[in-house]
Amino acid sequence: MSRVDEEIRRDLDRLTRPVRTEGVLEHVARRRARRRIVWRMRVAVLATAVVIGSLVGVVGLNRVFAHREVVTPGGTPTVTNPDASHTARPATGTDFEAFPWICDETQLHADTDGDGNLDEIAVWSPATSCDAPDVGQRYVLHVSGNKIPVGTGSPSPVLYGIDQPLPECDQPFACMLFAAPDIDGDGRAELAVAFNRKGPTWLLALYRVEVDPAHDRYALVRMSVAAPGDLWKSLFDLVPGPATFAWGSSAGESHTMSCDEQRGERLLVVTTSLPSEQMPGAYDVHQTLLRPSKDELVVVKTNDQTMSEVQPPMPNDLCGAPIQGTG
């Protein structure tokens, strides 16, 4: 009997055998949820292969899915390096494999590492399933990107993914990507994450990506306010430490953020407006001007004035970056 006939016979035999189907759909759903992060990384790999084409070559494409996973301060990164071998992920204190479902997710694309390519950013709630009571109890900030190491002589890209737990997201279903503005004008987007909601006012944290592909260092770092900060009379004053900003407007109270160029320097402007204590019907407006310095925001100036005009509407962008749905 020829080899082809033998293969056909085996295939026909298989068709007559009973097939067990119990639990198949549940198993497929679990595998699909676990593989969504891997899918993101593979999309980034394919996009990079198209861009660098002849530089990577056939050998690079064959090896591009070899993984090395490392841990960096503040996050649980996954690094993909064509020249690296696979090693086990060290323990980080947050076992995302125990919560394989990706729920309550928001996504956007922005250049977080300054290479001119859009990176994928997402915030989601890892859970045992999306109808389980643990949905919304914890959140993760994820960035997938790629960099070509400088000074190594290798054109092969380093694909990286960073999973950063968001402990500040302690209010269920009030954690989401807000915007991805370039606050300091360096061509790298910072990430504004809404992590709490008090009525119509959102509380925001700012994160930035720190990337050093030559040394396999990738991290998401929350930006902070340098001492002494700026203490005015608002419930959302800028205290030293991890930066928390307010965004929203109600009952004559308004909180916004914007960017401004002054004397060749790009500044973050935090504006707070409250009903005036001295002039009924007017507003006391306080502005804090902060200079970004890597992962720190330094107060350089404050402005105060009383305005009798009606408050302007809330902006629909943050330093030129569109705001995600916050209805």
In 3D space, the residue among 95, 68, 100, 99 whose CA is nearest the CA of residue 81 turns out to be 68
Cα(69)–Cα(148) distance, integer angstroms: 17
4-37, pLDDT tens digit by residue? 456 555 654 544 444 444 443 444 344 444 445 4
In a domain, 184, yes or no: no
In a domain, 176, yes or no: no
| Tokens (6 digits) for 180 | 């991805």
| Tokens (6 digits) for 116 | 């001119």
In a domain, 251, yes or no: no
pLDDT at residue 142 tops 70: yes
In a domain, 221, yes or no: no
- pLDDT band per the 50, 70, 90 thresholds, residue 215: low
Mean residue pLDDT of the chain comes to 76
In a domain, 199, yes or no: no
Residue 71 or 316, more confident: 316
Asked whether the beta carbons of 262 and 177 are under 8 A apart, the reply is no
Question: What is the extent of the structural domain holding 33?
Answer: 25-167
70-126, pLDDT tens digit by residue? 333 334 344 433 333 222 233 333 555 677 899 999 999 999 988 888 999 999 999
In a domain, 82, yes or no: yes
Cα(281)–Cα(27) distance, integer angstroms: 62
Tell me what pLDDT residue 26 has.
47
Cα(46)–Cα(33) distance, integer angstroms: 21
Total domains, the chain: 1
Instruction: Kindly list the strands in the beta sheet with 76-80, ordered across the sheet, starting from the edge strand earlier in the chain.
Output: 67-68, 76-80, 158-165, 140-147, 119-127, 101-110
CA neighbours closer than 13 Å in the CB half-sphere of residue 301? 11
In a domain, 50, yes or no: yes
